[in-house]
Amino acid sequence: MANLDDTFSGTKDIAEALRFNEAVLLEWMTANVDGFAGPLKVGQFKGGQSNPTYKLDTPGKAYVLRRKPPGKLLPSAHAVEREFKVMSALGNEGFPVPKMHGLCEDPELIGTAFYVMDFVDGRIFWDPYLPSVDTGKRADIYDSMNETLATLHAFDPASIGLGDYGKPDAYIPRQIARWSKQYKASETGSVMAMDRLIEWLPDAAPTQDRASIVHGDFRLDNMIFAKGEPKVVAVLDWELSTLGDPLADFTYQLMQWRTPKEMRNGFQGANLGDLNIPDEAAYVEAYCRRTGRSNLPQLDFYFAYNLFRLAAIVQGVYHRSTLGNASNAKAKEYGAMVEPMADYAWSFAKKAGG
């Protein structure tokens, strides 16, 4: 089996559908990025499914450009403007995000809106089993990730300039409505379990007890770790971030422990002790300790909701691949993943009373 870290790490030639006028970008960066000096060499990162992301190399410094994909987009999707806003605010508070340099909302310049940030040199782990990490360091990788998410959830959004970043309450009902709509807009075939979930989830949603900044896609491969130590130095891919229920954010990551290896490379059935990866109970305990919680309620609902949401996202990636503007060549394979994910989500829904 191919090493996922090798498969998705680094850059490649820019896909034809995702090319843009590099001379125009060079002119914009010269005018808008402090200290910038060309010439400029552009490559496309291998990883990423949603917003195309490029490495910008110059003789003295490397940057990253992230843009909306070209073509007709689903409503409210690919909001690079929001990514720029939340990372700018969090960076000012010392939270691990790349330094932001500029946002261009003019779609005429390179074809879509984009922003430029620092390139953070470090390690990205695409395989949650961490085969490239010494066994003794794996638990520390996961503990740093746990601590980083707890830190994010501790911020008071209003005090750091993000009080208007979203509606803080009723997050899950709004997410269910949003992803039901997005799913239907990108539907390519009937999936019975998705239809059942769309009907059942709204009335089953628990009452939200706290509000925080939520990342929305917090997982191992959306962060950069220091080269020399198991420490998160940058959290990436804030496209789905908003204000809302921190438990939805945490349980999205916790799905790693509840899904089988063939689905999201999950840990279900793995000997985590031998791997030196914390088991679910230990990971939950660490998060609860850091956030002042005694336990996590209604996990079956949260898993049903998160798997439904993920299936809707995956359907969107697949739908974009049929239109030719998905940013990853493997996107077409996603179509086959939607129904198994939806079926698995419904199995949790049944445990929660569905």
Q: What is the pLDDT of residue 2?
A: 47
- Residue 198 φ/ψ region, left for φ over 0, alpha for ψ in the -120 to 50 degree band, beta for the rest: alpha
Q: What is the pLDDT along the chain (354 residues), one digit of tens a residue?
A: 445 555 456 677 788 888 899 999 999 999 999 999 989 999 998 765 578 899 999 999 999 999 988 765 555 556 899 999 999 999 999 999 999 999 999 989 999 999 999 999 999 999 999 999 999 999 999 999 999 999 999 999 999 999 999 999 999 999 999 999 999 999 988 999 999 999 999 999 999 999 999 999 999 999 999 998 999 999 999 999 999 999 999 999 999 999 999 988 999 999 999 999 999 999 999 999 999 999 998 999 999 999 999 999 999 888 877 777 655 656 667 788 999 999 999 999 999 998
Q: What is the pLDDT of residue 94?
A: 98
Q: What is the pLDDT of residue 5?
A: 53
Could you count the other beta carbons within 10 Å of the beta carbon of residue 105?
Answer: 12
What is the pTM assigned to this prediction? 0.90
Residue with structure tokens 């990866």?
277
Superfamily of domain 4-118: Phosphorylase Kinase; domain 1 (3.30.200.20)
Please give the C-alpha separations between residue 59 and each of 38, 43, 44, 208, in angstroms, as whole numbers. 7, 15, 18, 50
Q: What is the pLDDT of residue 69?
A: 82
Please give the C-alpha separations between residue 317 and each of 77, 172, 203, 223, in angstroms, as whole numbers. 11, 22, 28, 21
Strand partners, 232: 225
- Residue 245 φ/ψ region, left for φ over 0, alpha for ψ in the -120 to 50 degree band, beta for the rest: beta
User: What whole-number distance in Å separates Cα of residue 95 and Cα of residue 155?
Assistant: 10
User: What whole-number distance in Å separates Cα of residue 257 and Cα of residue 276?
Assistant: 14
Q: What is the pLDDT of residue 282?
A: 98
